[in-house]
A and B are shown apart, each in its own frame.
Chain A
Amino acid sequence: MEITEILIAAAVSLLIGCFVPERWRITVFFVLSLIALFWLQPPLPVDRFIWLFPFATLFLTAAVWWLTRSPENSENWQQIGLLLGLGCGFGMVISRPDASPDWLKLATIGTLGLGTVVGAAVFTRGEIEFRKQAGLVIIFCLVVILFVLKTPALVRFLSQAARFAEGMDTQSASGSDLQWIGISYIAFRLIAVLLDFRNDRLPALSFQEALLYVIFPASLVAGPIDQAQRFTGDLRAQSRLDAERLVDAGRRLTSGVFKKFVIADSLALVALSPRIAQDADTLWGAWLVVYLYAFQIFFDFSGYTDIAIGLGKLVGVDLPENFDRPYLRQNLALFWQSWHMTLTRWFRTYFFIPLTRALLRRKLPISDYLVAQLATMTLIGLWHGVTVNFVLWGVWHAVGLTIHKQIADRTRPWYLRQRQKPWANRLIYGSGVFVTFHYVVLGWVFFALPEPWMSFELFGKLFGQ
Chain B
Amino acid sequence: MTNWFFVGRVVLKATLLFVTINVVYALTNPLPTVHSVSVYNTLVPGRERLPYGENPSESYNITILQVEGMFTSHILNDADKKNDEYRVFLVGDSSVWGWLLDEDETLSACLNRANLKTPDGEKIHVYNLGYPILDATKDLLLLQHGLQYEPDMVVWLVTMASLYPYEQLIHDVVRANPEKVRELIDRYNLALNPDELPGSPNFWERTLVGQRKDLAEWLRFQMYGLGWATTDIDYRSPEFFHPVQSSLYDSTMLFDGRDEQVLTRADFSFDVIAAGVDMAQEAGAEVLIVNQPMFVSSGVNSDKRYNFYYPRWAYDMYHTMIAELASENGWQYADYWDAIPNEAYTDSSFHATPEATCDFALLLGGEIQRSAP
Q: List 27 A-B contacts (CB under 8 A).
A: A243-B2, A243-B3, A243-B6, A244-B1, A246-B7, A247-B6, A266-B219, A266-B220, A266-B223, A269-B220, A269-B223, A270-B60, A270-B223, A270-B224, A270-B230, A275-B57, A276-B227, A279-B231, A280-B230, A281-B230, A281-B231, A281-B232, A282-B230, A285-B230, A285-B231, A286-B230, A292-B226
- Inter-chain CA distance A269–B57, complex, in Å, is 7
Instruction: Point out which of B4, B226, B233 has the most chain A C-beta atoms below 10 A from its C-beta.
Output: B226
Q: Does A142 contact B (CB under 8 A)?
A: no
Tell me which residues from 394 to 430 in chain A have a Cβ below 8 Å from any Cβ of chain B: none
Residues 265-304 of A, flagged 1 when their CB comes within 8 A of B and 0 if not, give: 0110110000110011110011011001000000000000
B58 within 8 A of A: yes
Q: Which residue of B lies closest to A267 (CB)?
A: B223
Chain A residues whose CB sits within 8 angstroms of the CB of B56 once the complex forms: 269
The answer to whether B233 touches A285, judged by C-beta atoms less than 8 angstroms apart, is no
Q: In the complex, given contacts A244-B3, A247-B10, A285-B229, what are 5 additional A-B residue pairs having Cβ atoms less than 8 angstroms apart?
A: A243-B2, A269-B220, A269-B224, A280-B231, A289-B230
Determine the chain B residues whose CB is within 8 A of the CB of A276 once the complex forms. 227, 230-231
Cα distance, A133 to B6, chains bound together (Å): 55
B58, closest chain A residue (CB): A275
Q: Could you give, for residues 236-273 of chain A, a 1 whenever the CB lies within 8 Å of some chain B CB and a 0 otherwise?
A: 00000001101100000000000000000011011000
Do B227 and A270 have beta carbons less than 8 Å apart?
yes
Q: Which residues does B use to contact A, with CB under 8 Å?
A: 1-4, 6-7, 10, 56-58, 60, 219-220, 223-224, 226-227, 229-233
Instruction: Bin chain A's interface residue count.
Output: 10 to 19
Q: Which residues of B contact A292 (CB under 8 A)?
A: 226
The 7 A-B pairs at the shortest CB distance, nearest first, are namely A285-B230, A279-B231, A244-B2, A270-B227, A269-B223, A270-B226, A243-B4
- A-B contacts counted at CB < 8 A amount to 53
Nearest B-chain residue to A248, judged by Cβ:
B2
How far, in angstroms, from A282 to B228 measured CA to CA in the complex? 12
Q: How far is the CB of B101 from chain A (nearest CB, A)?
A: 17
When distances are taken between beta carbons in the complex, the residues of chain B under 8 Å from A270 are 60, 223-224, 226-227, 230
Q: Do A247 and B231 touch (CB < 8 A)?
A: no
CA A151 – CA B4 in complex, angstroms?
50
Chain A residue nearest in CB terms to B4:
A243
Q: Mark A20-32, 1 if CB is under 8 A from B, else 0.
A: 0000000000000
Which A residues contact B (CB, under 8 angstroms)? 243-244, 246-247, 266-267, 269-270, 275-276, 279-282, 285-286, 288-289, 292
Q: Which residues on the A side are within 8 Å of B233 (C-beta)?
A: 279
For the complex formed, measure the closest distance between the CB of A278 and the CB atoms of chain B, giving whole angstroms: 9
Minimal beta-carbon separation of B225 from chain A (angstroms): 8
- Shortest CB distance B194–A (Å): 37
Contacts of A285 in B (CB 8 A): 229-231
Query: How far does the Cβ of A184 sit from chain B's closest Cβ, in whole Å?
Result: 26
A404 to B112, CA, bound (A): 55
CB distance from B310 to the nearest CB of A (A): 38
Whether B230 and A279, one on each chain, are in contact in the complex, defined by CB atoms closer than 8 angstroms, is yes
Minimum C-beta distance from A63 to chain B (A): 42
Which residues does chain A contribute within 8 Å of B6, judged by CB atoms? 243, 247
Chain A residues near B232: list those with CB within 8 A. Answer: 281
Q: A266-B220, A281-B232 are in contact. Are A247 and B227 (CB under 8 A)?
A: no
Contacts of B2 in A (CB 8 A): 243-244, 247
A289–B228 Cα distance when bound, in Å, is 12
Separation of A48 and B227 alpha carbons in the complex (Å): 40
Residues in B neighbouring A282, C-beta threshold 8 A: 230
Closest CB in chain A relative to B53 CB, distance in Å: 11
Measured CA separation A2–B1 after assembly (Å):
34
Nearest-Cβ distance from residue B64 to partner chain A, whole angstroms: 14
CB distance from A441 to the nearest CB of B (A): 16
Q: How far, in angstroms, from A267 to B220 measured CA to CA in the complex?
A: 9
Task: List, in ascending order, chain B residues with CB within 8 A of A244's CB.
Answer: 1-3
Partner of B230, one of A247, A266, A267, A288: A288
Q: A269-B220, A281-B231 are in contact. Are A247 and B7 (CB under 8 A)?
A: yes
A246 vs B4: C-alpha distance in the bound complex, in angstroms?
9
Q: Which of A243, A244, A269, A292 has the most CB atoms of chain B within a 10 A radius of its CB? A: A269
How distant is the Cα of A244 from the Cα of B10 in the complex, in angstroms? Answer: 12
Closest to B222 in A: A266
What's the Cα separation between A289 and B7 when bound, in Å? 41
CA distance A214 to B17 in the complex (A): 40
A296 to B345, alpha carbons, bound, how many Å?
A: 42
> Chain B's nearest CB lies how many Å from the CB of A287?
10
Q: Is the CB of A288 within 8 A of B220?
A: no
Known: A243-B3, A247-B6, A269-B57. A288 touches B231 (CB 8 A): no
**Neighbour of B227 across the interface among A243, A246, A269, A286, CB < 8 A:** A269
A246 CA to B232 CA, complexed, in Å: 48
* B12 smallest CB distance to A (angstroms): 14
Residues in A neighbouring B60, C-beta threshold 8 A: 270
Q: Which residues on B sit within 8 Å (CB–CB) of A289? A: 230
Q: How far is the CA of A247 from the CA of B227 in the complex (A)?
A: 38
When distances are taken between beta carbons in the complex, the residues of chain B under 8 Å from A247 are: 2, 6-7, 10
**How far is A243 from B3 in the complex, measured between Cα atoms in Å?**
5
Least CB distance from A7 to B in Å reads: 15
